[in-house]
Structure 1
């Protein structure tokens, strides 16, 4: 029962949750860990529904003042080539006043000397973070979630910047989309090689949560990540898009705001788009709504016939079935952008590696508490700290649920949850 901002919390998972073992030898399971990691959700009663919680995110709250150093990577994928940026959280007091005016606040590029010195044999857990649509490492919702980990002095973290976002430059005509998992895959491989003893963990927000889930599904038990959290995942993008278009506020507020942010992002890269693509930029920059932008950009660039085909192909609800590391997924039922109708309750109930936590209030990346705090940071930090410091990560059995495919052998049918309709050649 909701009363004065007190949200109801529900958990959905397999009847037999993933068995895990603590470093003290005690047996436990993923559901118990998630239930202990998720505190009561007491939100600001003045922000009484999903719209109020979501719209309040536009308030210019400062948030924790994290600082970053940026490294530029050249993509190792033959088809999805070009460059992308990764921002690494830094805590060195000598770097507090250093910043680059061409980058988001409190961010600077690594020097050549610093780049050459990257790498260590330490065993500190490291978090790989994916931000939301047109965002970056500077986003307030992101900093609220990871600042307690960084400030504890026990964690390292980096944010993979989606191509073209957060003042990053593109060197081809490709901006990011929800289907593009290659940059996070390359980053994880690089981290595993550069910091071989660090256990790696994942965290994704909104569209970044969709990308993170798709990556985890594609990799299965092969991913170097030990556990992950995804927050406000839109899951079935075609459903969320249709829900937004079906209401006055969804169409003329959310679709327009999201469309404006993507149009502004594309305009920053006008020269590259005109140099490397055949896109009509005049038409592209005239689009008002997100689905119109996706039709004008994502379809011709990636080869999708319609934006709906792109949404279906990039959705991550099926990918959830193929996840083979402990995953906590957090959604608000009243989220007006990541619609409750898109949340994969049935899929979560079949996979012991996943626990879906839903709150009755919170909006989209809102969860504002009295005083301005953000509730979602608490379960994120609690879960990650528990997995990193209290669980024997070697106890995770990636074959606990068998193969990721299913079917009916009698009739020769087979279902692969991460099969994609868009074909991308493998690296040579």
Structure 2
């Protein structure tokens, strides 16, 4: 189902770049207490999980798994905001750091937009630990692409009660082209610099499996993905990576109730990337707004102060579909704190 979103931006935050930058850079982020868990993998690598502290919850209290975006982590403000919402609603919350995101991983490979096996491992781990708990997942940007692809691959076998994905690059090749245009090139440079630093740091700690070109010459995503992402992760080239990892073709196979939130003015991609109704399964509700930027969606509060609308809309979806995800007296306080 494709429908118009109820989101309306704050009058002073209508510009997509302002929405995007304010949410990721300007927004304040109070300290958040977490408990860290390292999940050892069968291939000798590891994943780092950040859990909300246990607060006397029942064994069947719901669990919300959060998947961050490219170069994201627990420091991502959208992740912290949703973890606070999970806590306020009496749920367990856990952020999955993708392989190599929190700190350099042990293997040459790292995470990418189509890597769903690691997420499947985390879901199985959570299922084993909390066998009776209803489970939901929320993914942002790259994490949203991973989540939607996983849901399409699993179909009816997906062990989730519901899911949400925000600002998803459904077609990776077209996104790689769109982010090279106009002001969007600033985001491209920022993201690639983060990737370059991560790989340079890792390859000082472990031996690279093959010689690579000077990272500083890889200034756009097709070049970077051709030289780095594809060969490290078993793809023929960037086009092969984009074709096999894009979530768009998997949307029609999703059988878990899934909310997808997208803005037409997302500066990371062009509006024509938004899936058509025919591309969606009956289980997918795609809400599209005219404004919102990339993982922005900032509206105005009572006195014009910024209100982080995603942290209202996503919990509202979870309250309807995730058993045990119920409001308590701290919800309003969490929403106001953003």
RMSD across aligned C-alpha pairs, in angstroms? Answer: 2.4
Counterpart contact for 2:231–2:237, Cα < 8 Å: no
Counterpart contact for 1:228–1:326, Cα < 8 Å: yes
Q: Which residue of 2 aligns with 1:104?
A: none
Q: 2:66 aligns with which of 126, 129, 140?
A: 129
SS of the equivalent of 1:318 reads helix
- Length, aligned pairs only: 321
Q: 1:257 aligns with which of 190, 194, 197?
A: 190
Q: Which residue of 2 aligns with 1:226?
A: 161
Q: Which residue of 2 aligns with 1:178?
A: 113
* Gapped regions of structure 2 (runs ≥ 5): 326-338
Structure 1 residues 376-427: Cα deviation after superposition (integer angstroms, max 9, x where no partner)? 1111010011112489xxxxxxxxxxxxxxxxxxxxxxxxxxxxxxxxxxxx
In the TM superposition, residue 58 of structure 1 has moved relative to its aligned partner by 4.6
SS of the equivalent of 2:61 reads coil
The separation in 1 between residues aligned to 2:320 and 2:29, in whole angstroms, is 24
In the TM superposition, residue 129 of structure 1 has moved relative to its aligned partner by 1.0
Counterpart contact for 1:137–1:143, Cα < 8 Å: yes
* Gapped regions of structure 1 (runs ≥ 5): 1-10, 14-34, 94-119, 392-428
Structure 1 residues 124-171: Cα deviation after superposition (integer angstroms, max 9, x where no partner)? 01011100001012210222233122123x1001111111112x2311
Q: Which residue of 1 aligns with 2:328?
A: none
In the TM superposition, residue 309 of structure 1 has moved relative to its aligned partner by 2.3
The separation in 2 between residues aligned to 1:74 and 1:285, in whole angstroms, is 33
The change in CA–CA distance for 1:62 and 1:279 in structure 2 (over 3 A counts) is farther
Larger Rg: 1
The separation in 1 between residues aligned to 2:236 and 2:324, in whole angstroms, is 48
Q: 1:142 aligns with which of 79, 83, 108?
A: 79
Q: 1:72 aligns with which of 38, 41, 52?
A: 38
The separation in 1 between residues aligned to 2:129 and 2:324, in whole angstroms, is 25
Q: 2:99 aligns with which of 163, 177, 180?
A: 163
Q: Does 1:84 align with 2:15?
A: no
Q: Within 5 A, what are the aligned runs for 1:346-385?
A: 346-349=277-280, 351-370=281-300, 371-385=305-319
SS of the equivalent of 1:67 reads coil
Counterpart contact for 1:85–1:160, Cα < 8 Å: yes
Counterpart contact for 1:172–1:276, Cα < 8 Å: no
Q: Which residue of 2 aligns with 1:277?
A: 209
Counterpart contact for 1:146–1:381, Cα < 8 Å: no
The change in CA–CA distance for 1:209 and 1:260 in structure 2 (over 3 A counts) is same
> Deviation above 6 Å: which 4+ runs of structure 1?
none
The separation in 2 between residues aligned to 1:237 and 1:340, in whole angstroms, is 14
